[in-house]
Amino acid sequence: MTHLAAAPSPSVRVRAPGKVNLSLRVGALQDDGHHPLSTIFQAVSLYEEVTATQVPEGAGVTITVDGPQADLVPLDRTNLAWRAAEALAAHVGMAPDVALHLAKGVPVAGGMAGGSADAAATLVACDALWQAGLSRDDLAALAADLGADVPFALLGHTAVGTGRGHLLTPAMTRGEFHWVFAAQAEGLSTPVVFGRFDELTGPAGAVEEPGLEEDTALMQALRAGDAVALGQALHNDLQAAALSLRPELERTIDVATEAGALGAFVSGSGPTVAALARSRQHALAIAASWTAEGAADSVWCTSGPAHGARLLP
Ligand code: C5P
């Protein structure tokens, strides 16, 4: 007797990285509800992995999730990955029929753009699954409409971001930088942090167009692969806002500094704290200090720069 097994549904897997903003300079709130940014992103080797599987016509989008804090991730249209599948389908004139599985490797709602990485990975995955053959430029345009951090998750490595953070220019770097992240169980909402930034700076406080002039030393440190100089140049205009919403993060920063971090600061809109270490060994030591002091709900040792959204074989 022979068994005719059903052929497995076609599926593709894509990895996209989380990020840290080495510098984040924020301008005054614009009429479109966004703030102009001047930022330097670095992708780190913490990856979201998205599996996109073909489903019967008319089945629509479904999302399943696993990984730490998976229970915090929405499974409906509010998930950026869902909207990424819809946007790509609309662009190529198809129905958005796909099952998305998100394996979370980036802290959830932590200011490390894990949700944006899911969206970037979904664009690349659906493009491959549906054999749409879109160029990287087409994907980047769709990414920019989804959210300010999505284009960088496509691109990866290290890049200067302007506009809402979505206009990218790759930056030169040398070597590998060792990072350790302290994540918190309770995330911070990006719009809430930007709102506190507005309250703290006042209507006239922020500059119209933040520029990169003040990041010359940072760019030089990246080119030279000089982690000590990079640590001194790290900057985040949203840090005061994040700290005023979560004062306990001051201690997380202090613990890293006492453990010899080359720099320690809030990552993006927080509440994750990023510390730059001298080596992988040193990153593990900072992580151990955070754990011993109860200054983090979870710790993540990694390095950057890392590649952008990429199909897995
Ligand atoms: O672009 P994204 O959808 O990720 O942004 C989420 C929210 O964060 C925006 O709706 C806005 O309130 C705030 N934001 C901002 N300025 C930016 C990026 C985000 O005010 N450059």
Question: 35 CB less than 6 Å from ligand 1?
Answer: yes
164 Cα: distance to centroid of ligand 1 (angstroms): 8
Q: Is 97 a catalytic residue?
A: no
Q: Name the E strands within 106-237.
A: 158-162, 167-170, 177-183, 235-236
pTM metric for this prediction? 0.94
State the maximum Cα–Cα separation within the chain, in Å, rounded to a whole number.
80
Residue with token string 């074989």:
313
Per residue of the chain (313 residues), give pLDDT as tens: 556 667 778 999 999 999 999 999 999 999 999 999 999 999 999 999 999 999 999 999 999 999 988 999 999 999 999 999 999 999 999 999 999 999 999 998 788 999 999 999 999 999 999 999 999 999 999 999 999 999 999 999 999 999 998 999 999 999 999 999 999 999 899 999 999 999 999 866 667 677 778 899 999 999 999 999 999 999 999 999 999 999 999 999 999 999 999 999 999 999 999 999 999 999 999 999 999 999 999 999 999 999 999 999 9
The answer, yes or no, to whether any atom of ligand 1 lies below 6 A from the CB of 151, is no
Q: To which H or E segment does residue 49 belong?
A: strand 37-53
Rounded Cα distance between 80 and 142, Å, is: 12
Active site residue 237: no
Torsion angle of C-alpha atoms 242, 20, 37, 136, degrees rounded to 10: -140
Q: What is the pLDDT of residue 211?
A: 76
Ligand 1 contact via 306 beta carbon (within 6 Å):
no
Compute the distance from residue 162 Cα to the ligand 1 centre, in Å. 13
Testing ligand 1's pocket by substitution, the residue of 83, 118, 194 carrying the most ligand atoms inside 8 A of its CB is 194
| Pocket test residue of 164, 189, 197, 209 for ligand 1, highest count of atoms within 8 A of CB | 164
Residue 300 host element (H or E): strand 298-304
Distance CA 139, CA 133 (A): 10
Q: How far apart are CA 290 and CA 255, in angstroms?
A: 7
